[in-house]
Structure 1
Amino acid sequence: MKRFPKSIICMTEESVEVLYALGRSELIVGVSAYVERPPEAKKKRTISAFTHANLKRIIEMKPDLVLGFSDIQKDIAKDLIAEGLNVFIANHRSIEGILNYIQMLGNLVGENEKASSYIQELEEKISYAKSKAKTFKIRPKVYVEEWDNPLICGIQWFSEIVEICGGEIIHKEKSLSSLATGRIVTNEEIVAACPDIILACWCGKKVVFNHIYERAGFSSLPAVKNSQVFELDPAIFLQPGPAPIVSGIDQLLEIFENYQQT
């Protein structure tokens, strides 16, 4: 008989959303304090933030599997592995990586067929967005900002979903960097690129619009002059899971469709 994990701790949000989508939420015994999707997941026991976790509690719970994301959680993973726990840390950065992650997670819990079916749904949503984007007469130049000090532009999957929905990313090359330090941009670079739309999505805090409007040279940007500066939800767009596709696409298509009328 094939055996799969019966108790899983999710130290980041994307694994939670995927397991709920696959109908296996009962496997989750602990979640991150930042989990938002789906809302009922917030009732699960909290065992971690992003950069730190309650190692003692996790060890005492003896989960079959601990799931995390990125090199930022490598030290947590190392400590848990040293205690004999099974740990899987994903490190993808692209839309393709998100889809591959969903399949891997499905395979880990014995739901490979459900995962494949779910991926097909997401791919259909992406195809719809691409088709809709082709109807737009104008493809606006877009600056995605994930942090304000220093200025950090959007990560790869965020930038890709913007382009899928009809925008032209002004910092495409920097978005490919796996590290935040590689995605630092300057005021001068943004002003020179002259974005039509600014999508602000600050990780862990609310956007302060005046801090954007009052930057040197920003008053001349079409995005500022035409009131095309938007705040987006980090729980949707900064999650390396289904959320940017499931919910992010609809929001971006609305922004870009409305832009056609400006």
Structure 2
Amino acid sequence: MDEQRATADQATGLRRVVSLAPSATATLRALGADDRLVGVTHNCDADGLDAPAVGGWLNPDHDAVAERDPDLVCTADPLQRDVRDAHRERGHRVVHVEPTTLGEAVESFVTLGRAVGQTRAGHDLAWSARGRLERVRRLVANRDRPVVYCEEWSDPPTAAGNWVPDAVRAAGGRYPFLDAGERSREVTRDEVEDAAPDHVVLHVCGRGERSDPATVRDRDWDVPAVERDAVHVVDDSLLNQPSPRLVDGVEALAARLHPDAVDESG
């Protein structure tokens, strides 16, 4: 796609970036492009940024974006296609990424780096991410693989898709609910009980680390994870956001699934 092939020469002189996706904001910050961000959403991690909020990631204020006079607008995910199109219609240059797997998420670091004229930094960030993921895979390679259920929404219970199946496998688990690249979907009690997850991971969208394990325990699901008190809460950005935070999420999952392997690694 054209927006995914933005070249370094196009990005020369680009200084004003508005990021309308939390994943793009996190990635650009990891690339060292904080000083280029002149607008973000309420959903982005803006700590330490001199960049005003221009609305939410699904409902940005298009006029507020225009007032920031951006050289580039960043969007992500199929849910932001309308936002992408709205800003293209206004004449803004837009870079839009839609990773659906762990590998595509890492490759998007290169795309965003190229888009802001930080091509080398984008490649370096992707290279570092791949190295960290490979290290985790080596640590858990010879371990038994527990079944894991990852829930990104609790009403109704929704199994996480996209890159989460990849993340679970990289962390040394089995994920029988979805294949990598498939969209998240509602699951039934029978499906979860038949899969018999050894671990349940709550990373509910928008909840950060505030999800309550009792949400799962109160359902009275007959699964090993509940019986052995292996219901974990992780910050939703660690698994829901296709940014460098996702690599942190794989490492966090591995620490919960295989604490001995991670401890032994030092």
1:76 aligned residue: 83
1:159 aligned residue: 165
Checking the alignment, whether the CA contact within 8 Å between 2:77 and 2:98 is kept in structure 1 is yes
In 2: Cα distance, 1:151 partner to 1:176 partner = 19
Q: How does 1:29-178 map to 2 (within 5 A)?
A: 29-36=38-45, 39-41=47-49, 43-136=50-143, 138-173=144-179, 176-178=181-183
The alignment's TM-score, normalised by the length of structure 1, stands at 0.88
In 2: Cα distance, 1:120 partner to 1:61 partner = 33
2:250 aligned residue: 249
Q: What is the number of equivalent residue pairs in this alignment?
A: 250
1:6 aligns with 2:15: yes
Match 2:215 to one of 207, 211, 216: 211
Q: How big is each residue's C-alpha offset from its partner over 1:215-241, in whole Å with a ceiling of 9 and x where there is no partner?
A: 25x1x2110000000011112211111
2:26 aligned residue: 17
Q: How big is each residue's C-alpha offset from its partner over 1:69-120, in whole Å with a ceiling of 9 and x where there is no partner?
A: 1121122222222221112221111111112211111111222122112211
In 2: Cα distance, 1:112 partner to 1:79 partner = 27
In 1: Cα distance, 2:258 partner to 2:9 partner = 49
Aligned Cα root-mean-square deviation (Å): 2.0
Q: How big is each residue's C-alpha offset from its partner over 1:180-234, in whole Å with a ceiling of 9 and x where there is no partner?
A: 4xx2211110011110000011101332322211225x1x211000000001111
Checking the alignment, whether the CA contact within 8 Å between 1:18 and 1:242 is kept in structure 2 is yes
- SS for the counterpart of 1:34 is coil
Give the 3 Å change call, closer, same or farther, for CA 243–62 of structure 1 in structure 2: same
Checking the alignment, whether the CA contact within 8 Å between 2:39 and 2:68 is kept in structure 1 is no
1:192 aligns with 2:194: yes
In 2: Cα distance, 1:258 partner to 1:19 partner = 31
Checking the alignment, whether the CA contact within 8 Å between 2:30 and 2:244 is kept in structure 1 is no
- SS for the counterpart of 1:156 is coil
Q: How big is each residue's C-alpha offset from its partner over 1:27-82, in whole Å with a ceiling of 9 and x where there is no partner?
A: 11011212227x424x5211131210011111122201110111211222222222
1:201 aligned residue: 203
- SS for the counterpart of 2:100 is coil
The one-letter code matched in structure 2 to 1:177 is E
Q: Which runs of 5+ in 1 are unaligned?
A: none
- SS for the counterpart of 1:146 is strand
The one-letter code matched in structure 1 to 2:211 is V
In 2: Cα distance, 1:26 partner to 1:2 partner = 19
Q: Which runs of 5+ in 2 are unaligned?
A: 1-7, 262-266
The one-letter code matched in structure 1 to 2:253 is L
The one-letter code matched in structure 2 to 1:170 is P
The one-letter code matched in structure 2 to 1:254 is A
In 1: Cα distance, 2:36 partner to 2:219 partner = 47
In 1: Cα distance, 2:38 partner to 2:181 partner = 34
